């Protein structure tokens, strides 16, 4: 089906969906799980188009275009308002679901980041999932199935999306005209997300986040608390560019990029081999910083960042999670290297 042509590296999920769509056996609720930015949302929109397109998902007719552009009255995307999906948002579904589709065949509700539903919202959704009208379909997206109430999970069929393999991402970037080095760096930082890798190469918010964080990376561990807040404030103007549609947050990207910095420091200290760096374009800056941090402290920083990454999934206040992680790194005891120096 042409409608799925843009989705890279999810062959298993797509062939499963194509199969049920072709046979007209789509159930009324699906749960797409997988890491941020691997195509869950794009696929959900494509399924909505396939359910409504007269050709079963041609990708180019007026119906498909309208759905892709978010302008179709029968396809509704519900995403977290602020840091959670609230009951008022789910109640709106309850109000509209009883009305037959305005112009399409199916009414499709796409609920993004469903793991951010409050308990009240989840219970309200449950009522809609229990006995939906035949024309209604739900597609929920979430990082993992276990972050949802079992009662919600049991009413949805799960479709698993995986991190896209690095070689696939790299080939997409090279095909889009990226230089070898840039493609390699972006792939390493992408966390398996084609969308994020593309944005790192083409610039935009992801490229800016990388520049902001790496410019200040040394200060975050070596500087004062003022430097930590300055680094965080520098990210603020990007907040409005947030939510480019692949579900990744500025905070998550900042943590991942800082993680690549400490990973590179460990590599430099343990091997001295610049060709193994992720941030090859920052080799000289990394070499200086590597002299001032012990491998143990760099590993401790990685640990802090990993735990913060986990906390982002469940914690409503992403900004606070990032701040705590940066402060924890800043407050680590002086390194052996620093004491010796
Ligand atoms: Zn179409």
Question: Above 80 in pLDDT, residue 26?
Answer: yes
pLDDT for residue 286 is more than 70: yes
Of the candidates 57, 52, 43, 59, the residue with the CA atom closest to the CA atom of residue 11: 43
Please tell me the distance between residue 139's alpha carbon and the centre of ligand 1 in angstroms. 19
Cα(66) to centroid of ligand 1, in Å? Answer: 9
Ligand 1: distance of its center to the CA of 158 in Å?
25
Does residue 51 surpass a pLDDT of 90? Answer: yes
Q: Does domain 2-160 match CATH 3.40.50.300?
A: yes
Sole residue written with tokens 């992408």 = 190
How many A from CA of 150 to the centre of ligand 1? 35
Whether the predicted pLDDT of 256 surpasses 70 = yes
Distance of CA 15 to the CA centre of its chain: 22
The answer, as to whether pTM is greater than 0.85, is no
Partners of 158 in the beta sheet?
A: 31
Here the tokens at position 306 are 């990993």
Cβ–Cβ under 8 Å, residues 205 and 244: yes
CA of 50 to the centre of ligand 1 (A): 7
Question: What is the spatial distance between Cα 194 and Cα 216, in angstroms, rounded to a whole number?
Answer: 26
The pLDDT value given to residue 339: 45
Residue 243 has pLDDT above 70, yes or no: no
CA of 11 from ligand 1 middle (Å) equals 21
Tell me which residue has tokens 């024309």: 135
Question: Is the separation of the CB atoms in 48 and 75 below 8 Å?
Answer: yes
Q: Is the pLDDT assigned to residue 341 strictly greater than 60?
A: no
Distance of CA 104 to the CA centre of its chain: 30
Question: Helices marked H in the chain — which ranges?
Answer: 11-22, 40-52, 62-68, 87-96, 119-130, 150-153, 166-175, 180-189, 194-202, 204-222, 225-235, 250-271, 283-290, 295-314, 318-330, 336-340
What integer is the mean pLDDT of 264-274? 91
Q: 243 CA to middle of ligand 1, Å?
A: 26
Provide the pLDDT confidence category of residue 5 given band limits of 50, 70 and 90: confident
The average pLDDT across 305-318 equals 83
Q: What is the mean pLDDT of the chain?
A: 88
The per-residue pLDDT for 340 is 44
> Do 110 and 141 form a contact (C-beta atoms < 8 A)?
yes
Report the distance separating Cα 67 and Cα 74, nearest Å. Answer: 9
In the chain, domain spans: 2-160, 203-340
Cα gap 309→264, rounded to integer Å: 18
Distance 57 CA to ligand 1 centre (A): 5
203-340 maps to which CATH number? 1.20.272.10
Per-residue pLDDT for 201 more than 50? yes
At 338, is the pLDDT very low, low, confident or very high (cuts 50, 70, 90)? very low
Report the greatest alpha carbon distance in the chain: 73
């Amino acid at each position: 089906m042409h409608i799925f042509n843009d989705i890279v590296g999810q062959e298993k999920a797509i062939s499963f969906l194509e199969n049920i769509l072709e046979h007209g056996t789509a159930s009324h609720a699906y749960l797409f799980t997988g890491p941020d930015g691997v195509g869950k949302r794009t696929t959900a929109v494509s399924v909505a188009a396939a359910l409504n397109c007269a050709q079963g998902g041609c990708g180019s007719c007026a119906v498909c275009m309208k759905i892709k552009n978010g302008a179709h009255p029968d396809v509704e995307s519900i995403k977290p308002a602020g840091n959670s999906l609230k009951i008022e948002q789910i109640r709106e579904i309850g109000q509209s679901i009883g009305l037959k589709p305005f112009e399409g065949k199916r009414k499709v509700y796409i609920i993004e980041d469903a793991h951010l539903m409050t308990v009240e919202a989840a219970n309200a959704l449950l009522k809609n999932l229990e006995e939906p009208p035949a024309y209604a379909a739900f597609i929920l997206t979430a990082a993992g199935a276990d972050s949802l109430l079992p009662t919600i999970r049991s009413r949805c069929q799960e479709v698993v999306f995986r991190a896209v393999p690095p070689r696939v991402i790299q080939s997409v970037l090279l095909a889009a005209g990226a230089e070898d080095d840039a493609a390699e760096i972006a792939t390493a930082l992408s966390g398996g997300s084609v969308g994020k890798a593309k944005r790192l190469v083409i610039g935009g918010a992801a490229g800016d986040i990388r520049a902001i964080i790496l410019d200040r990376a040394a200060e975050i561990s070596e500087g004062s608390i003022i430097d930590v807040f300055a680094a965080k404030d520098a990210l603020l103007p990007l907040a409005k560019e947030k939510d480019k549609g692949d579900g990744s947050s500025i905070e998550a990207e900042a943590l991942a990029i800082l993680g690549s910095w400490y990973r590179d420091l460990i590599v430099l200290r343990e091997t001295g081999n610049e060709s193994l760096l992720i941030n090859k374009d920052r080799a000289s800056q990394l070499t200086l910083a590597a002299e001032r941090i012990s491998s143990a402290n760099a590993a401790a920083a990685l640990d802090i960042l990993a735990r913060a990454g986990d906390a982002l999934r469940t914690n409503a206040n992403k900004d606070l999670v990032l701040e705590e992680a940066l402060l924890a790194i800043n407050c680590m005891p002086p390194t052996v290297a620093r004491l010796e120096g």
